[in-house]
Amino acid sequence: MLFPQQNNFRAVFDLGGYWNLKADPNEEGHKGGWYKNKLAGEVHSIAIPGSWNEQLAEQGLRNYVGKAWHETYFTIPAMVQESSKVWLRIAAADHKAEVWLNGNFVGEHSGGYLPFELDLSEALNEKGKKNHLVVCVDSSLSMHTIPQDVSPESPLYSTPSYERRHLFPATRFDFFPYGGLTRSVQVVTTPKEYISDTSIHSTLEGQITITADVTTDLDFNVRILSADDQEIAKGDSKNGVCKLSVDEPEWWSPSNPYLYTASISLMKDGKVVDEYHETFGIREVRVEGGKIMFNNEPLFMSGFGKHEDFPIVGRGQFRPAYLKDHELMRWIGANSYRTSHYPYDEEMMRLADKLGFLIIDEVPAVSLGFWSNDFDELKPLFENHKQSIKELIKRDKNHPSVISWSITNEPNLWAEEFYQNETSKKYFKELYDFTKGLDDTRPIMSISMAAHKENDVVLESCDIIGINRYYGWYTNPVDLEQAGKDLARELDATFEKYGKPIMVTEFGADTVEGLHATTAQMFTEEFQTAFIFKYLEVMEPREFVAGAHVWNFADFMTPQHFRRVVLNKKGVFTRDRHPKSVAFKLRDHWNSLERIQDDHRPKKPKSGFLVSDIK
């Protein structure tokens, strides 16, 4: 699916603004035909894109999980409507969306965090007239969806696995279950014959292969443009493929995020009938023994697991915060992050391409749980899992910043009995093979929790092993010497067993900013610093450890639970992006760490960007 683009053949109309919203806790909307006429009754204004939970907390929707009907009106210029196909593109609806235009059902999409398009052409009102758009968003989940969830009414919720872990709102994951139209909503127009998708593959030698999906059997031509818009190669398609070469190619890297542009023109009778411009970078990532090789150099990833979570907007699209987060990561010496635990806004990927950050791109398969040893009974979950991977790769395949696909995070977190068995092995092996079949140019990561350590079945089906570990926090709290020994033992045993590069994808300690102590005290800023640097002390000398991602970049909202005082406080920055004291220590450390190649560092900020040097 192509990112919306306006040019001589395409137009984009942003539907962002103040919409109407009506919650539907009793599920009366479908039967009552709420999609037919203007919403009535208890209707609220809501800013789109955005989550209803933060914006409408005072209207009783802070913890609301369920259906909410969204409504707006728009008009398409008559000239555009007459000559074009008209599409609705929703960049994310968490988690299911049903769409009506002028009372006509036009389509639906299941699965949050990822974009979908619907053809509006037949449902539009006459040219130049106002159109009535209604989107019913359902934020509820089930054991078959990705991510999964479990209802308090479910028998699973009363098992020993859930004792003392009940959350409000009920979730299987430790981040807030925001609902709504959380990213861009746009009307997009294309010609009647158009380019619907494109894939770009390149080699370090400058060989470029471009495929394009088009609506008819038309050919296309391609011009490759340099970063300063100079044509450096051109070619024509043959059987839907165009092969070109670039002399003396400039490689994309964090230190030099050089982007080429492929200008693709769809041809008919010698004339251009559609055009699309896709940026791309020439770079290579592969696994070689116990190392990740990036552009033929061993890679060490410094950075964070993150969340899309901000005051007021919740998970809503927030471009200034996207940029701020990348600049803070640049300042602290990070070169990478993981989209924990779901795909982030595609505008984040585009920003990372431009600024030179490396991304582990994760599907929302968080805290995955199996309820049977019969693989056939898991098929609905498995098919949704595959669909999420397919949609993610379709969206992000051309981004040079994306260097790995993460296909699951902490399966069996809730300790269901149906896990360490042949069914689980089959599930993850088939998922790995499916992902490789879609993209064999990027390594695949699977991320485990601590229960099964090096014996976790998920570690068999990946190219890079990710482990989330909290020795010294959730187990043997405060005892960091023992934590270091436990981590060292597991790292060595895991590499000996699998011979794959390992990343510690989560480690950290909840920290209340401004809380200090002269002795080892959990939740203090001193303990957070000691915890993180004990882990780094163990990880960094081991060459097979390919990266360290601190959990978390910033404090984030969670469901309510006795372990959480409103937020998960493991952030190195507060929720509103102020640094805790460990941030300055990490900045000194990462900016001088010899394991990070110079080419693998984004450009440093100017001196004095923040406090320049605190020892």
Q: Catalytic residue positions?
A: 410, 506
With a CB cutoff of 8 Å and minimum separation 6, the contacts of 35 are 29, 69, 100, 103, 105, 134, 136
- Which run of H or of E encompasses 109? strand 104-110
Q: Give the C-alpha separation, 521 to 148, whole Å.
A: 35
Among 340, 300, 352, 409, which Cα is nearest to 571's? 340
Q: What angle do CA 197, 202, 203 make, to 5 degrees?
A: 165
With a CB cutoff of 8 Å and minimum separation 6, the contacts of 511 are 523, 524, 525, 527, 528, 569, 570, 571, 580, 582
On whether the CB atoms of residues 262 and 224 are closer than 8 A, the answer is yes
Q: Give the C-alpha separation, 236 to 266, whole Å.
A: 10
If DSSP codes are grouped into helix, strand and coil, which group holds residue 88?
strand
The token pair that represents 457 in the structure block: 């079945």
On whether the CB atoms of residues 445 and 389 are closer than 8 A, the answer is no
Q: How far is CA 152 from the centre of its chain?
A: 28
In this structure, the strands spanning 285-288 and 291-294 are antiparallel
Q: Which amino acid is at 265?
A: S
Buried b (16+ CB within 10 A) or exposed e, 499-537: ebbbbbbbbbbbbbeebeeeeeebebbbbbbbbbebbbe
* Dihedral pair phi/psi, residue 484, rounded to 5°: -60, -40
Q: Give the C-alpha separation, 303 to 578, whole Å.
A: 17
